[in-house]
Amino acid sequence: MSLYFNEEHEQFRQMVRRFVENEINPHVEEWEAARCFPAHHLFKKMGDLGLLGLCYPEEYGGSGVDYWYNVVLLEELGRADCAAVPMGIAVHTDMATPSLAEFGSADLKRRFLAPAIAGDVVAAIAVSEPDAGSDVAAIRTHAKADGDDYVINGSKMWITNGTQADFLTLLARTSNDGGFRGMSLIIVPTNTAGFSVSRKLEKLGNHASDTAILSFDNVRIPQANRIGAEGMGFMLQMKQFQRERLAGVLMSVTGMEKIIRMTINYCRERHTFGRPLIDNQWIHFRISELLTEVEALRQLAYYCVRVMVAGGDMTKEVSMAKLKAGRLAREVADTCLQFHGGMGYVEEYPMARYFRDARLLSIGGGTDEIMLGIIAKYENILPGR
């Protein structure tokens, strides 16, 4: 019985599942080897099916449906045969565009949100810098006011979709006030003079996702491209982070479930000492334990969705969910790989890729330690500075 999804949600689930099976999974090997998936090609197909703007207003081409449809989308993407492509999609739908949709001007939404929903352009979120990852308040990329424009200088690091993006949702300093004050979120088209991709990064996993270092050398952007009021960027980005973390958790739950079920099948087929591996109590108990933890995480994620949909603040709970997801994914990856024996260690089996990809969850979108700090702050046990 589902408490959260009605028949229409389930029909939608079948449609997304078919999309993943037909349009993503058959190409994963090729895209992983190429170290990039063709975002423009794939996003256009998704835009045509209405998958890129489920909760965004119909006025800009969105579907205006309830957030549970987005839950379904993320859950089904999480079942894909790699984490890289779902991550690139979620960056576009749940990390680079929520602030634009909620706080952008009508003109900005017409120029950037509408084509993003249609799948005509690819978006990226540019917050982290070489010297500022966990400590977002330490960013140095500067947008200096000049007439009606900003002139942007600096560098961004680790940017997912970074080599393919048509626009960035960029967090930059718009005043010299230190710390979290004086930052703004600005939409930056990547065809603007002075913007360049410095380098694409080679990574441990998530190979089909392009991650890049970006450079800004006197990039001139109209101030009208700012999302919301000047100086509100940090606050808007902190809000956007909650949505990003929730998306990461929802995708991870189904990813873990898939890999555990694959392990169950493997342990049923594989015999040692005259009986199936799964008949060993250590193995079926351990798998039962992992499935229990995954289910508990799913329910925490659904609770976060309910709080968010009701207009509440889910920051503490989504931080707990993100922390748990990162740690649990590592445990699932390690345990399931172990139960595969040597087959867990070879590239011809999906296990090795999952092991690599899952490691990112404790780092990207805010590390485990940053989640612990947020939880401690909400519990009023974080020491003052």
Does residue 370 interact with ligand FAD by CB under 6 A? yes
The contact mask relative to ligand FAD for 83-122 (x = CB under 6 A, - = no) is --------x-------------------------------
How many binding residues for ligand FAD (CB under 6 A)?
Answer: 22
How many Å apart are CA 203 and CA 209, to the nearest integer? 9
Comparison of 51 and 214: residue with beta carbon closer to ligand FAD: 214
Comparison of 212 and 283: residue with beta carbon closer to ligand FAD: 212
Would you tell me how many other CB atoms lie within 10 Å of the CB of residue 42? 20
Does residue 198 interact with ligand FAD by CB under 6 A? no
Does residue 160 interact with ligand FAD by CB under 6 A? yes
User: Exposed, middle or buried: residue 41 (CB in 10 Å: 0-12, 13-18, 19+)?
Assistant: exposed
Does residue 158 interact with ligand FAD by CB under 6 A? yes
58 in active site: no
Which is the catalytic residue, given 32, 76, 129, 244? Answer: 244
CB 252 within 8 A of CB 73: no
Comparison of 70 and 211: residue with beta carbon closer to ligand FAD: 211
Rule CB under 6 A: which of 16-75 touch ligand FAD? none
Comparison of 214 and 260: residue with beta carbon closer to ligand FAD: 214
CB 361 within 8 A of CB 252: yes
Residue with the closest Cβ to ligand FAD? Answer: 133
Does residue 165 interact with ligand FAD by CB under 6 A? no
Encode burial over 288-316: b for 16+ CB neighbours within 10 A, e otherwise: eebbeebeebbebbbebbebbeeeeebbb
Does residue 203 interact with ligand FAD by CB under 6 A? yes
Sign (positive or negative) of CA dihedral 182, 101, 110, 162:
positive
How many Å apart are CA 43 and CA 46, to the nearest integer? 5
Q: How far is the CB of 96 from ligand FAD (least distance, A)?
A: 8
The contact mask relative to ligand FAD for 255-294 (x = CB under 6 A, - = no) is ----------------------------------------
Q: Which stretch binds ligand FAD (CB under 6 A): 47-55, 110-118, 216-224, 362-370?
A: 362-370
Comparison of 134 and 288: residue with beta carbon closer to ligand FAD: 134
* Residue of the chain from 127, 250, 307, 374 that contacts ligand FAD (CB under 6 A): 127
Q: Which two tokens stand for residue 345?
A: 């260690």
> What are the phi and psi torsion angles at 168 (to 5°)?
-115, 140
**Element of type H or E holding 211:** strand 211-222
CB 233 within 8 A of CB 184: yes
Q: How far is the CB of 129 from ligand FAD (least distance, A)?
A: 8
Does residue 159 interact with ligand FAD by CB under 6 A? yes
* Residue of the chain from 47, 50, 98, 366 that contacts ligand FAD (CB under 6 A): 366
200's CB contacts (< 8 A; 6+ apart) are 35, 162, 163, 210, 211, 212
* Sole residue written with tokens 């058959």: 26
CB 69 within 8 A of CB 63: yes
313 half-sphere exposure, CB direction, 13 A CA radius: 5
Q: Which residues are designated catalytic?
A: 244
Residues at the interface with ligand FAD (CB under 6 A) = 91, 124-128, 133-134, 158-160, 203, 206, 211, 360, 363-367, 369-370
